[in-house]
Amino acid sequence: MSTDDNKTKLYHYDPSFGLAIAATAIFGAVFVGHVFLMMRHKAWYMAPFVVGVFGECAGYAVRRISAAKPHNTMLYIIQEMFIILAPACMAASHYMCFSRLITYVGEKYSPVRARRVTAVFVTFDVASFCIQGGGGALYSGNNTKNFRLAKAVLTVGFLIQIISFGIFAIFAIICTVLILIRGIYRTVSFASGDVTTGGYLLSHEGWYYGLETSGLHRC
């Protein structure tokens, strides 16, 4: 593909210079901060996240250049691939952090082993990364007939990423909500009770097993 494909309209809008610069600056600052923290604390498991943030920064930097040359196909593809692939790296660090959290708290309190969390979710994450990369390679080829196939491949990659991270997020949200409900129950029960009667919640054991025991058991 030429760099100026007969003035093909790649963007369906006029790309903003200011927003691209702002995004580059924000991700650049986050990148520098996380590199410093990672090296200071020797938190090497955060390396995929740092790589992902760098990818976002690079993607928006190229997008700024692409905004000035909106008909340049190669610049458009480069910024798209950086921005598309970077979140997969960031998601990998989320899985690894969760795995380390399980190890820190104690695997006996978790229904899933830490290694299994990393193995399952990171495997899906790597698969989505590779599929999206393959779709990007097709998208950047010289054959315009590959565009439809490239879009289909990229869509599959995105779906795998959405399903994988979605399941992870749903479980995390459920556990968070259950712990929050337990905290509210404890707060209300002690705040509304007195020494003699104990209040409604403290004097009914069903609430204890329903909001205390059952909720944390599901976590």
**Burial of 69 (C-beta count, 10 Å sphere; 0-12/13-18/19+):** middle
Question: For the residues 143-164, what does the mean pLDDT come to?
Answer: 86
In this predicted model, what pLDDT tens digit does every residue of 103-143 receive, in sequence order?
777 776 666 777 888 888 889 999 999 999 888 888 766 56
- pLDDT of 142 reads 59
Q: Which is higher by pLDDT, 187 or 7?
A: 187
The pair of three-digit structure tokens given for residue 206, joined into one six-digit string: 């069903």
Q: What is the pTM of this model?
A: 0.74
Q: Are 213 and 182 in contact (CB under 8 A)?
A: no
- pLDDT of 4 reads 46
Question: For the residues 80-100, what does the mean pLDDT come to?
Answer: 90
Q: Are 82 and 56 in contact (CB under 8 A)?
A: yes
- pLDDT of 143 reads 62
Model confidence at 3, in pLDDT bands (50, 70, 90)? Answer: very low
Q: What mean pLDDT is reported for the chain?
A: 82
